Each structure stands twice: as C-alpha cells, then as structure tokens.
Amino acid sequence: MRRTLVTFAAGFLLWVIVSQLNHSLAPWRIYLWVGGLFITHAALMLPLRCGLAASLLVGLLLDASAPVTFGTHLLLFAIGHGVIFHLRDRLPREETTARVIIALFANLALLLVLSFVLIQRGPAPAAVWPRIIFDLVCSQVFLAVVAPWFFALQARTLDLTESIADAYDRRYDT
C-alpha cells in the first residue's frame, strides 16, 4: 500500500505541475497531455497490484478534473498499464532512455485513443485533427524533457519511503 500511495503522490505532483503549465500556456492555445508518463513507471517497476492501483488512482484524478465521462481515464490507464506490464519482461526497463521511449509510445497511443473517443462530440471532427497533432507534438517534446526527472523522483521517493519504513521497523522490533 505504501508504494501505491507514494507513486500516486508523485503522479499528483506531476498533475499539479502540468495543470499549472497548461494554465500558463492557455493564451497560446497549447495543451500538454502526459498520460503515458503517469502509468509508465508504475507498470515497469512496481508489482501488478501496486502499480495498477496507482495508475487507477491517477486515472480517477484526471477523470475528476477533465470534461470527460467519469471513468474514461481510469479505463485508458488500466488498459495502458496492462499492456506495458505484460511487455515489461521484454523491455530494457532499467535504462532511463528506454523508459522515456516507452512513455512516449504510451502517451501517443493513449492520446490518440482518447482523441478518437472524444472527437465525436465536436461539430466538425476533421477540423480538430491539426490542433490535436500540434498538441501531441508539444506534449511529446515536454514528456521527453520531463520524464527523466519524473522517473528519478518516483524512484527516489520510493527508496526514501522504504528506508524510512525499514528504520521504523528496526527501531520498534527490538
């Protein structure tokens, strides 16, 4: 449970940063979406139960703050987490570069699926695709820059939490 909460807390921090950045970029009509980054570390580095719970919690957080049907991000993140988790034994998951590339592909796939699901709401779906592609390119560049920091943040907070818990257990076991 500890790993789930720490991973969710890091995801919450990323959500706050991206939300504030999107608010600042709104006058230029630029929107960043980093859904692939929310699930990549949890799917690659954590056991299935802990990682899936963290991904689902972040999915619920994004559902609560987005104008979509509640459960959309939850379902997308569950599917994305499952796909990455089942491929993780075939991937070089210890290398930061590989994790960034996996996050980029996950972000691409999730954003395209989300766009196809939501594009039916607009009056002219074909006219929206240039905007989606531009936002996708901006999001991918931002994700590639931020992902190493975010992966290091998650790994360090997990290590710190484990060391604090071990010290606490040693102190009160004697």
**What number does CATH give the domain 1-173?**
1.10.1760
Q: What is the pLDDT of residue 12?
A: 95
Q: Quickly count: other Cβ atoms within 10 Å of residue 156's Cβ.
A: 11
Tens of pLDDT, residues 25-65: 999 999 999 999 999 999 999 999 999 999 999 999 999 98
Q: What is the pLDDT of residue 27?
A: 95
pLDDT at 168 over 70: no
Arithmetic mean of pLDDT, 156-164: 87
Distance CA 38, CA 125 (A): 27
Arithmetic mean of pLDDT, 100-106: 96
141: pLDDT confidence band, cut at 50, 70 and 90? very high
Helices (H) and strands (E) in the chain, counts: 6, 0
Q: Which residues contact 3 (CB under 8 A, 6 or more apart)?
A: 46, 47, 50, 54, 158, 161
Arithmetic mean of pLDDT, 144-153: 96
Tens of pLDDT, residues 122-135: 777 778 889 999 99
Tell me the residue type at 91: L
List the chain domain ranges.
Answer: 1-173
